[in-house]
């Protein structure tokens, strides 16, 4: 089973600043990597798939990059509504589509 | 509008059973693979089980094999998860999620239903 490791566990960023989240796979997942946003009490929402393609309706301040085993989610100018937990998921080896443990983004 | 609405969660004693349902609307249900994903309190997401659009192919994570059964009724646009021999480690919010068949991400999630296993 592929293990996904996210860092940091918690990220505190001021409004308007850049947030950079990392996700590492224990073996290559090609570009079959998704990012989800989960706000408190809500279901996850697909942000990015194919490592770098924004899902429908996702603002341009969210961008994804990487391939193989190293991936990054960048929020270019953090807004208050971006406070959430962000999960990465590999779907290259299916099943299971394993998830990282999540990164919590806090507004400083 | 694409919607997934789970139901059937609740409090159950260890060793008990529960059946979750997920009612789908706003899309052609039979064209999509469906999964159950759970999230234990304060933990990350864990894929539990998946089923193909026709229902003829199913998969389970190792920890639930032999205890959980996923199924679907395409005439009712509903996904199910029969959970037997429940243990405290099964306590979680259970989400249903849809995706295109093959190596694709989950594009829509339900709001989840809470399952609590406790004596």
Q: How far is A10 from chain B (nearest CA, A)?
A: 13
Closest CA to A18 of A79, A65, A95: A79
The tens place of each residue's pLDDT in chain B, 119 residues long, gives 999 999 999 999 999 999 999 999 999 999 999 999 999 998 999 999 999 999 999 999 999 999 999 999 999 999 999 999 999 999 999 999 999 878 899 999 999 999 999 99
Q: Report H helices in chain A.
A: none
pLDDT in tens, A56-104: 999 999 999 999 999 999 999 999 999 999 999 999 998 888 999 999 9
- Report how far residue A21's alpha carbon sits from residue B63's, in angstroms, rounded to the nearest whole number: 30
Count of alpha carbons within 13 angstroms of residue B28, beta-carbon side: 5
Minimal-distance CA residue of chain A relative to B41:
A41
**Beta strands A19-25 and A70-75: pairing type?**
antiparallel
| C-beta atoms of B103 and A32 within 8 A | yes
pLDDT digits (tens, 9 = 90+) for B64-81: 999 999 999 999 999 999
Of A44, A45, A92, the CB nearest to B45: A44
For residue B56, the distance in angstroms to the closest alpha carbon of chain A comes to 16
Are the beta carbons of B95 and A43 separated by less than 8 Å?
yes
Label residues A39-73 b or e (16+ Cβ within 10 Å = b).
eeeebbbbbbbbbbebbeebeeebbbebeebebbb
Q: What angle do CA B94, B17, A42 make, to 5 degrees?
A: 15
């Amino acid at each position: 089973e592929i293990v996904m490791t996210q860092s940091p566990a918690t990220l505190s960023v001021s409004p308007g600043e850049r947030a950079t989240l990392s996700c590492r796979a224990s073996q290559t997942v090609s570009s079959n990597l998704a990012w989800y946003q989960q706000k408190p009490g809500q279901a996850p929402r697909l942000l990015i798939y194919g490592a770098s393609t924004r899902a429908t309706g996702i603002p341009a301040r969210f961008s994804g990059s990487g391939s193989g085993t190293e991936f990054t989610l960048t929020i270019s100018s953090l807004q208050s509504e971006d406070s959430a937990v962000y999960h990465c998921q590999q779907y290259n080896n299916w099943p299971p589509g394993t998830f990282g443990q999540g990164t919590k983004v806090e507004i400083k | 509008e694409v919607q997934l609405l789970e139901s059937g969660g609740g409090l159950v004693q260890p060793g008990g059973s529960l059946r979750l349902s997920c009612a789908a609307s706003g899309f052609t249900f039979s064209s999509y693979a469906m999964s159950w994903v759970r999230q234990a309190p304060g933990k990350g997401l864990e894929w539990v089980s998946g089923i193909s659009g026709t229902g003829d192919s199913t998969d389970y994570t190792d920890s639930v094999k032999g205890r959980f059964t996923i199924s679907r009724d395409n005439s009712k646009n509903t996904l199910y998860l029969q959970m037997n021999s429940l243990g405290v480690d099964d306590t979680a919010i259970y989400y249903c999620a849809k995706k295109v068949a093959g190596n694709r991400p989950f594009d829509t999630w339900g709001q989840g239903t809470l399952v609590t296993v406790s004596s």
